[in-house]
Amino acid sequence: MENLPAIEVLSLHKAFGENRAVQGVSFKVGQGEIFSLLGPNGAGKTTTISMLSCLLRPDDGDARIMGHSIRSDGNGVKSALGVVPQDIALYEDLTAHENLSFWGKMYGLRGSELKKRVDEVLDIIGLRERANERVGKYSGGMKRRVNIGVALLHKPKVIYMDEPTVGIDPQSRRNILDSVVALKDQGMTVLYTTHYMEEAQELSDQIGIMDHGQMIASGTHDELVKLVGGQTRIDLTVNAEPQRILGAWQSVEGVEQASVEDEKISLLVADSNQVLPHLFEAATRQAVRITSVDIREPNLEAVFLHLTGRALRD
């Protein structure tokens, strides 16, 4: 059981009429790992999560959650996982305590066990003092905490978190990201969907990039960055016509590509530390003053751009 992958997805397919929402998605997540599904809106992340939650039946393919097949053992899957939906899926006219009690019952908890877990979760999400207030009166961040708390009630082995930071303030976002790390520390496996590359980069042991229903790349952050050759992008502005210095910089050793966009000179380089001094020397020789330098390390945005030709935010 210990060597079993927490999540094993095998060529899932799902179409809604002509729309092929998920096309042959496969990936594995080891126990205790955080796996982020990264992709723009409409990439198929939520459809994938819905199939893994047994909400949607796949047209083809299968997945095993802690060894339970989503096709043949829905109850086993459901007992092993907790789902944190993108929306605040709570009853706003009930209190936090009533919400947690109700959801605990739906997860099969009863009696003293239910009471104990509700109290523990209230402590985890830091809302014990305000447990008897209606959720509708909570701030957005507090609602998000209850939303996560519900998924923890039955101590699941695997948690799905579907874009849990959409539309919330930076402080609440920080709290949620910290709580995801805390869940991992407790040994839980987290499947996290997002279209914020910073979150995927910060949290994940592994990242899968989805676009148009397909998994176009997956691996650790470093593995993915290597797909774009590990190049650093340097954007520079100068006090002269860009074309005057462009040729000189193109010939600097280590500069692999140079172009001008919006009066800015963009260079793709292997090692920015090595190249930058030579760029300044060349500028001095040409009597051109550099007015700004912006160094961008290779990131998932660049990977997505490299793989799809589009920015992640498009």
Partner 1 sequence: MIRILDITFKDLLQLMRDFKTFMFLLLMPILFTFLFGYAFGGFGGNSDSRLPVGYLSQDNHWVTDSLHDLLSESDLISLRENVFLSPADLEQQVANGDLAAAIIVPHGYGRDVLKNRTDLRLIVIADTNSTAWTSVEAELLRITSRLDGAVRTATIIERIDSERMPFHYAFEKTLDAWNDPPIAVTETKSPAVAKVSDSGAALAHTAPGMMLQFAIAGLLTAAQIIVTERKTRTLQRLLTTSTRRIDVALGHFLAIFLLLFTQFTILIVFSQVILKVDYFRVPEATALVAVSAALCISALGLLIGFAAQSEEQAITFSLIPMFVFAGLGGAWVPLEVTGATFRAVGHVSPVAWGMDGFENIVARGLGFESVLLPSAALLGYALLFFSLAVWRLYASEEK
Tell me which residues touch partner 1 (CB under 8 A).
16, 53-57, 74-75, 78-79, 81, 83, 85-94, 98, 102-103, 105-108, 110, 150
CB of 91 to partner 1, least distance (A): 6
Q: Which CB, 55 or 293, lies closer to partner 1?
A: 55
Q: How far is the CB of 102 from partner 1 (least distance, A)?
A: 5
| Closest CB to partner 1 among residues 81, 209 | 81
Minimum distance of partner 1 from residue 94's CB (angstroms): 7
Least distance from partner 1 to the Cβ atom of residue 101, Å: 9
Smallest distance, Å, CB 74 to partner 1?
8
Q: Which is nearer to partner 1, 83 or 131 (CB)?
A: 83
For partner 1, the closer CB: 81 or 200: 81
Q: Quote the least distance from Cβ 60 to partner 1, whole Å.
A: 16
Tokens 């919400």 — which residue? 99
Residue 147 or residue 218: which is nearer to partner 1 going by CB?
A: 147
35, 27 in Cβ contact below 8 A? yes
Distance CA 194, CA 46 (A): 10
* Shortest Cβ 90–partner 1 spacing (Å): 7
Under a CB-based contact definition with an 8 Å cutoff, are residues 28 and 183 in contact?
no
Q: Which tokens hold the place of 125?
A: 């999400």
Structure tokens at 311: 């920015």
Nearer to partner 1, 74 or 254 (CB): 74
Minimum Å gap between C-beta 166 and partner 1 is: 13
| C-alpha distances out from residue 273 to 28, 219, 270, 295, Å | 37, 27, 9, 10
How far is Cα 268 from Cα 37, in angstroms, rounded to an integer? 27
Nearer to partner 1, 75 or 243 (CB): 75
Antiparallel, parallel or unpaired: β 60-65 and 189-194: unpaired
Q: Which is nearer to partner 1, 26 or 79 (CB)?
A: 79
